[in-house]
Amino acid sequence: MSTQRYVYYPGCSATGVGRGFTESLDAVFEHLGTGLDELEDWNCCGATAWPSVDEDQAFALSARNLALAEDRAPDDGPVDVLASCTGCYRALLKAEHVLNEAGPKAEKIGGALEAIGLDYEGRTRVRHPIDILLNEIGLDRIREAVVRPLTGLKVACYYGCLLVRPFATFDDQHNPTSMDRLVAAVGAEPIDWPLKTRCCGGSCYCGGPVIGAMPEATMQLSYALLREATKRGADMIATICPLCQFNLEGFQGRMSKRFGRPLDVPSVFVSQILGIAMGIDEKRLGIQRLLRWQLPDREPVPAEGGVHARA
């Protein structure tokens, strides 16, 4: 069992749309005997926008966070840096790769760090919180912590793009199952569906299918996910990225109108599902921030969808 505390890089969305993710992760990690410590004085990672403008600058932004994490570490060993938003996860991980590859780019970024009195030693390991839950804390510990098994809850685990692309460090690139296993460990039923890693349009949107750069495209992409998940009987969509969660949650009304199919399915963070099963208070998990939250109030699992009671 892991009792170590982890350095946590929240990213910008953690104080905005993704607040529920950070809150629920924090609560779940504490409950399991470990904890997340926010990296002090972290800065924006550049997400997916800045690399398109100037890749080296974007790497430098991420590199500062990594160098700070090393600096603050209690010893000289490897430092796990957790990033929950997959946009941040990818940005930090890519920067870590480039820095470790030792070439002109690494030197350039190293120079930028030097200019602010920092240096990168190559000790960080950028990881995603569900990697830690699955592989460090472990499913056994999670199962033991369940007080309210979510029997009968059908969950569509949606991984999105960046968790397994371009780097698939802890799960399969085409058919990831890490979230499915976590959800199963708390008694729920992950459904089998083909769109686990299909893009939700998150990157083109920066504000969703209403404000974003390509609203129609985003709407189509997100709608396809919701349609397929509900068709296959999902009660809820579990996500691991604030952008995905928001995209899938926020525009179901418009999508229903646009595509003529009623949609009313909760899109939540997987840590919120885990937290509820562990009996953690809803407020600590940020459940109140969700637009919709419905747990099926029935046991055992019914054959087809029934009336969902508000939890």
Partner 1 sequence: MLEPEAGLTTQPISTNGGPRIGVYVCHCGLNIAGKVDIEAVVEFASTLPDVAVARDYKFMCSDPGQELIEKDLREGLVNRVVVASCSPLMHEATFRRATAEGGQSPFYFQMASIREHVSWVTADGAEATEKAKALVAGAVRRVALHEYLEPRRADVRPDVMVVGGGIAGIHAALTMADAGKHVYLVEREPTIGGHMAKFDKTFPTLDCSACILTPKMSAVRSNPNITLWTYSDVVGVEGFTGDFTVRVRHRPRYVKADLCTGCLECIEKCIHKQGKFDDEWNEGLSKRKPIYIPFPQATPAVVVVDPETCIWFKTGKCPQTCIEACERDAFDFEQTETFDEVKVGAMVLATGFKTFDAAKMPEYGYGLYPNVYTSLEVERLLNAAGPTSGEVELRDGSKPKVVGIIHCVGSRDAKHHLWCSKVCCMYSLKLAHMVKERTGAEVYNFYIDMRTPGKGYEEFYDKILKEGVHMVRGRVAGVTDEAASPEEEDHLVIRAEDTLIGSVRRIPVDMVILAVGIEPQPDAQDVRRLFNISCGGEGFFTERHPKLAPVSTFTDGVFLAGACQGPKDIPDTVAQAGAAAAEVLAMVDRGFVMLEANTAHIEDEVCSGCKTCVGLCPFSAISFNEERKKAYVNEVVCKGCGVCVGACPSGAAQQHLFTDAEIFSEIEGVLAYV
For position 260 contacting partner 1 by CB under 8 A, the verdict is no
Q: Which is nearer to partner 1, 174 or 310 (CB)?
A: 174
The H or E element containing residue 28 is helix 19-31
The CA-CA-CA angle for residues 264, 268, 272, to 5°, reads 140
Distance CA 129, CA 99 (A): 22
Residue 176 CB, nearest approach to partner 1 (Å):
11
Eight-state DSSP code of residue 281 = -
Q: Which stretch binds partner 1 (CB under 8 A): 16-24, 112-120, 123-131, 222-230?
A: 222-230
Amino acid at 280: I
Query: How many amino acids of this chain bind partner 1 (CB under 8 A)?
Result: 10
Residue 226 CB, nearest approach to partner 1 (Å):
12
Residue 227 CB, nearest approach to partner 1 (Å):
8
Q: Yes or no: say if 263 and 277 are a contact pair by the CB < 8 Å rule.
A: no
Distance CA 9, CA 65 (A): 8
Q: Which is nearer to partner 1, 172 or 264 (CB)?
A: 172
User: What sign does the dihedral 243-245-248-253 (CA atoms) show?
Assistant: negative
Residue 221 CB, nearest approach to partner 1 (Å):
11
Amino acid at 146: V
Window 223 to 242, contacts with partner 1 (CB under 8 A): 224, 227-228, 231
Which x/- pattern, by CB under 8 A, does the window 166-205 give for partner 1?
------x-xx-----------------xxx----------
For position 214 contacting partner 1 by CB under 8 A, the verdict is no
Q: Yes or no: say if 148 and 103 are a contact pair by the CB < 8 Å rule.
A: no
Token output for 31: 């409950």
Window 75 to 134, contacts with partner 1 (CB under 8 A): none
Residue 6 CB, nearest approach to partner 1 (Å):
32
CA dihedral 169, 135, 202, 105 (to 10 degrees): -40
Residue 234 CB, nearest approach to partner 1 (Å):
13
Give the footprint of partner 1 on this chain (CB under 8 A).
Answer: 172, 174-175, 193-195, 224, 227-228, 231
